[in-house]
């Protein structure tokens, strides 16, 4: 149930869990309203399909940058958040907001109510909130853990974009390279991916059991980090990753990609890039992606495969 508008936005009380069937109508209604009053400022792009090693990548080139503030602009947009962008109370610890500057329609942010740093490790509560949303919405969940992984905000936020994502036949373009991955319950590597990573298949039925989904996903996540050699250290804010990485979650699999840098040839890459969807801010960069090939861009921001 949405919190009434008069509730102070930083001091909302914990709300009951998301009501079944409520998320998608809430996203549609909030997006319509937020757009009508200018709170939602979509970034318009032109998408080009680029084929590379059997993957039909979508490369979006920005045609209008709306009024998006520069990355890292002063202030925290999630505490307090803009009430017009509020979608739903997901759990006692998380709320869902609309991305103010969406490239992909109905792009959802799952934000912690209290500040936590974006490079802190994901916990059961984060995965429980993600799973509650993904049970309602067939989407790609993702996490850009750190600025070198493409995060522009320091306040912890997972994200979901609805599927299908790319211009091709498959729901997530990179899935063309995941077909040969083992069907084990333990993380492994997908033979087709040409950069260091860890991958595990999921049983979609997991999302039908929200009480347990958070814990199960958190266990898979811990195993993925170990397999990809992303170490956690204890800090005064809890466990933190020692390096940046991207995490991608669908109802069918999870993928973790440790990152070495944010950009390759001035092309910024975040988790969506590893799903097969790149965003460039001008034609010059689009031409660079064409020249290098999208997979070379991804290899350029990830560790070499062992």
Question: Which positions lie near ligand AMP, rule CB under 6 A?
Answer: 77, 81-82, 85, 97, 99-101, 109, 144, 150-153, 157, 270
Q: In this complex, which beta carbon is closest to ligand AMP, that of residue 158 or of residue 254?
A: 158
Per the document, the length of the chain is 306
Token couple for 125: 């509560």
CB of 212 to ligand AMP, least distance (A): 28
Q: In this complex, which beta carbon is closest to ligand AMP, that of residue 144 or of residue 190?
A: 144
Pick from 83, 152, 73, 79: which is nearest to 111 by CA? Answer: 79
Inter-residue contact 87 to 23 (CB < 8 Å): yes
State the Cα–Cα distance between residues 216 and 248, nearest whole angstrom: 15
Pick from 173, 198, 172: which is nearest to 184 by CA? Answer: 198
Q: In this complex, which beta carbon is closest to ligand AMP, that of residue 81 or of residue 253?
A: 81
Q: In this complex, which beta carbon is closest to ligand AMP, that of residue 168 or of residue 258?
A: 258
CB of 53 to ligand AMP, least distance (A): 26
At 198, is the secondary structure helix, strand, or coil?
A: strand
CB of 75 to ligand AMP, least distance (A): 9
CB of 270 to ligand AMP, least distance (A): 5
State the Cα–Cα distance between residues 306 and 287, nearest whole angstrom: 30
CA angle at 214 for the pair 209 and 216, rounded to the nearest 5°: 85
Q: In this complex, which beta carbon is closest to ligand AMP, that of residue 99 or of residue 198?
A: 99
CB of 65 to ligand AMP, least distance (A): 11
At 108, is the secondary structure helix, strand, or coil?
A: strand
Token couple for 207: 């999302």
Token couple for 47: 């998408």
State the Cα–Cα distance between residues 146 and 178, nearest whole angstrom: 25
Token couple for 53: 């090693």
CB of 20 to ligand AMP, least distance (A): 26
DSSP state of 120: B
State the Cα–Cα distance between residues 98 and 161, nearest whole angstrom: 11
Q: In this complex, which beta carbon is closest to ligand AMP, that of residue 96 or of residue 176?
A: 96
Q: In this complex, which beta carbon is closest to ligand AMP, that of residue 187 or of residue 276?
A: 276
CB of 106 to ligand AMP, least distance (A): 13
Q: In this complex, which beta carbon is closest to ligand AMP, that of residue 81 or of residue 207?
A: 81
CB of 186 to ligand AMP, least distance (A): 29
CB of 219 to ligand AMP, least distance (A): 25
Pick from 247, 304, 292, 245: which is nearest to 266 by CA? Answer: 292
Q: In this complex, which beta carbon is closest to ligand AMP, that of residue 190 or of residue 244?
A: 244
CA distances from 96 to 32, 86, 144, 207, 297 (A): 16, 6, 17, 18, 31
- Give the bridge partners for 98, in sequence order: 108
């Amino acid at each position: 149930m949405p919190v009434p508008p008069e509730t102070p936005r930083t001091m909302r009380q914990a709300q009951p869990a998301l009501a079944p069937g409520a998320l998608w109508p809430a996203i549609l209604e909030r997006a319509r309203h937020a757009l009508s009053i200018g709170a939602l400022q979509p970034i318009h792009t032109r998408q080009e399909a680029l084929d590379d090693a059997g993957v039909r990548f979508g490369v979006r080139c920005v045609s209008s940058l709306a009024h998006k503030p520069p990355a890292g602009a002063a202030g925290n947009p999630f505490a307090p958040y803009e009430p017009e962008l509020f979608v739903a109370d997901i759990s006692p610890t998380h709320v869902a907001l609309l991305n103010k500057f969406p490239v992909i329609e109905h792009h959802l942010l799952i934000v912690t109510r209290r500040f936590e740093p974006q490079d802190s490790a994901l916990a059961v509560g984060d995965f429980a909130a993600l799973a509650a949303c993904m049970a309602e919405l067939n989407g790609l969940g993702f996490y850009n853990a750190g600025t070198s992984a493409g995060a522009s905000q320091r306040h912890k936020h997972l994200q979901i974009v609805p599927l299908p994502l790319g211009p091709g036949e498959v729901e997530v373009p990179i899935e063309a390279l995941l077909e040969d991955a083992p069907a084990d319950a333990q993380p492994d590597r997908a033979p087709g991916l040409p950069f260091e990573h860890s991958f595990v298949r999921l049983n979609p039925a997991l999302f039908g059991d929200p009480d347990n989904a958070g814990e199960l996903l958190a266990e898979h996540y811990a195993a993925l980090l170990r397999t990809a050699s992303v170490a956690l250290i204890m800090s005064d804010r809890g466990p933190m990753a020692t390096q940046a990485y991207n995490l991608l979650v669908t109802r069918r699999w999870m993928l973790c990609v440790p990152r070495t840098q944010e950009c390759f040839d001035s092309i910024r890459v975040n988790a969506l890039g590893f799903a097969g969807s790149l965003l460039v801010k001008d034609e010059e960069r689009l031409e660079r992606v064409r020249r290098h090939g999208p997979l070379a861009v991804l290899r350029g921001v990830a560790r070499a495969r062992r």
